Chain A
Amino acid sequence: MIGGFGVTGVPFTLIKALADRAVKNLTIIANSAGGRLPDIDITLLVKNSQVKKVIASYPVYSGRVSAFEERHLKGEIELEMVPQGTFAERMRAGGAGIPAFYTPTGAGTKLAEGKEIRIINGRECVLEYGLRADFALIKAYKADRMGNLVYHRAARNFNPVMATAAETTIAEVSEIVETGDLDPETIVTPAIYVDRIIKGKKHEIRFD
C-alpha cells in the first residue's frame, strides 16, 4: 500500500527507497498508478519493472499517458480497478478485522461483474472483501517518537486507513517530535498502527 491522492500525501522518499531496493513482483495498492510527477511517484517502480499488479481507483489521468498505462495495455501489469469509496472501505475493513461487506456502489456496472450480488433493503449490493497488505508506505506531517501521527490538510487522504491495514506500516514524516508533544486529542493515527518512522526529504510539488 502506498498513500496519497494525486500529488498530496504521497511518501515520495519511501517510493525512491523501494525503487533503489529493486525488489520485484510487487502488488501496488494505491489510489493512482503514478504519472502526475513521474520522476518521483509510483512511475519509478513501474519503469523499474518492479510491479506485477496494481489495485487502484484512479490508475490513469486524462490527457497524459503514464508508464503504467503503456505497460498495462501491453499486458505486462495487471490492474484491479475498485471504486474509490469501496477501495477505502476495503482497507478500513481489512484493518478492522472485517473480512467482507456489501455495498451498493458499482452494482449493475462492469466493476461488479463476477462478484456476488445480494438484494438488501430492496437494493442491489455487491460483496467486497477486506484488503490487507504486507507493507503500508504512508506520509504524515508529524510523528512523535512512539509513532503517533498527525497530518496536514488534504494530505491525510488514504494514509490513516492504509496504516491500519498492513503487517508493517512505515511512515514518512516532515517532522519528528518528542513523545508527549502532540496533543492526544489531535492524533489521527495512533502509534499502535505504526511500526517505523523516517524523516522524509522535501520534494517539490508541481501542479502542471
Chain B
Amino acid sequence: MHELSLISSVVESVTESLEKYPGARVVEVRLKVGALASVIEDSLQFCYGIAIDGTPLAGSRLVVTVLPVTVHCAACEKVGAIESLQNFRCPHCGEPASDVRQGRELEIDSIEIEEAEKGLKSEEQ
C-alpha cells in the first residue's frame, strides 16, 4: 500500500545522487528488499513506471533483490534463514527464534548510469 511513497523516496534519493554526474542517464536502479519488509515487487514495479516519468530516471529499469529472513538462535548460537515467514524458528535446531538479523531491509543498493565520455566528472569532485 505504501509502495508509491517508497518509490517516490527512491526517485528523490537517486536524483540527488545524480548531481555528481551531470548529463548521466540512469540505466538501472537496484533495490534490496527484505522478505519481511512487507512490500510487493509487482507493486514497486508498477509505481516505478509511473513515478520516473518526467524525472532523470525516465526510461530506467528497476531491479529488486529480495533478501531472505535470517535469525540468530539463542539456543544453538547459529544464524540461518527461516523456512517460513509464518514460523520463526532456527533452521538448525528448531528452537523458536526472535532475533532477526536480516529481512527488514528497504535499501537502494546501487544504480547503473551511462555517461558521455567527455566532461566526465570524477566521483571525488
A, B from the same assembly: no
Name A's B-contacting residues (CB within 8 A): none
